[in-house]
């Protein structure tokens, strides 16, 4: 099984790397599933980490533990179809989160997030929500 990480996942895995017991709900729900990281999730996380002066070497080491999902045509197509479907229902899809959702749909995987509301109403998307203990 594979899950696609929302940016909250990387933030929490970084923030609580020295106190992993706080992540028990996340690890319990994911089990041994591979965590796939979309290009936009890595970019959002890295942007914030670099702003907080996290060394680039530390970021590279952290990111090495995940499989990066590249930007590809299938994701673009899913993004466009999801956006249109939601816009026609009067929903306003969030920009980065809809890209993450499109990556998950293209990978036929669920999104793992601490903010499930950001993914409400996305057609065909399974969401796995977790909490910090």
Q: What is the pLDDT of residues 50-72, one digit of tens each?
A: 999 999 999 999 999 999 998 99
**Residue 92 pLDDT more than 80?**
no
Q: Give the class (CATH, top level) of 2-129.
A: alpha beta
**Domain boundaries of the chain, sorted by first residue:** 2-129
* pLDDT the model gives residue 9: 97
What is the rounded average pLDDT for all residues in the chain? 94
pLDDT band at 133 (very low <50, low <70, confident <90, very high): confident
Q: What is the pLDDT of residues 2-46, one digit of tens each?
A: 999 999 999 999 999 999 999 999 999 999 999 999 999 999 999
pLDDT band at 94 (very low <50, low <70, confident <90, very high): confident
For residues 128 and 132, give the distance between their C-alpha atoms in angstroms, rounded to a whole number: 14
Q: Angle CA(5)–CA(43)–CA(84) in degrees, nearest 5?
A: 70
* pLDDT the model gives residue 95: 80
């Amino acid at each position: 099984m594979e899950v696609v990480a929302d940016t909250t996942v990387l933030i929490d895995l970084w923030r609580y790397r020295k106190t992993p017991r706080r992540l028990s709900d996340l690890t319990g729900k994911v089990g041994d599933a591979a965590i796939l990281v979309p290009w936009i999730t890595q970019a959002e996380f890295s942007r914030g980490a670099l702003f907080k002066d996290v060394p680039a070497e530390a970021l590279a080491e952290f990111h090495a533990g995940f499989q990066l999902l590249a930007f590809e045509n299938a994701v673009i197509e899913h993004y466009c179809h999801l956006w249109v479907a939601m816009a026609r229902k009067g929903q306003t899809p969030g920009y980065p989160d809809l890209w993450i959702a499109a990556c998950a749909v293209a990978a036929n995987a669920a999104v793992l997030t601490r903010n499930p509301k950001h993914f409400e109403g996305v057609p065909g998307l399974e969401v796995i929500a977790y909490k910090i203990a």
